[in-house]
Structure 1
Amino acid sequence: SCWSKSLGYSCCSTCTTVIDSDNDGDWGIENGNWCGIPKDCAKNSATCKGAQGYSCCQRSCEVVATDEDGQWSIENNDWCLIDESKC
């Protein structure tokens, strides 16, 4: 269920970057609109910390590049560190 619907906002379609947090949950922006980040995103992100200012990939396992931080892919037209626990 989407926790933010009761507040008049849709849930984000992906585990996007947290822009703000309040007592209700974490908020992101998709297509220029605020959205509630699904609650299970927080526990999923606990295993992968990201690197160099980039977040971890939410779904992608396709390796585009590799460096000392790990394997990288691209999601939403931006670099992301591949979460090996999901791939």
Structure 2
Amino acid sequence: MKLPNLSQEDIDRIVEMAWEDRTTFDAIELQFGLSEKQVIALMRKEMKDSSFRMWRKRVSGRSTKHRELPNTKIKDLWCGLHLQQIA
């Protein structure tokens, strides 16, 4: 899978966001332009095998990682310790 050219800072932030329960794949795509499949490929590349398996098991059953924002009027997206404004 082709991944865009990302800085190490962007990669670190994507990995951090992917681990967070409340950050959806949609939010990562909105901010960095990576699809869910690309995030999975990036996580596989950046993590140890055991850590990747643990992460996949964790996010596979989570509806919060796979659904769009429940309300399009929500503009604040919680990303760990960072509160970022979208739109």
Fold match (TM-score > 0.5): no
Higher strand share: 1
Query: Under a length normalisation based on structure 1, what TM-score does the superposition of the two structures give?
Result: 0.27
Higher helix share: 2
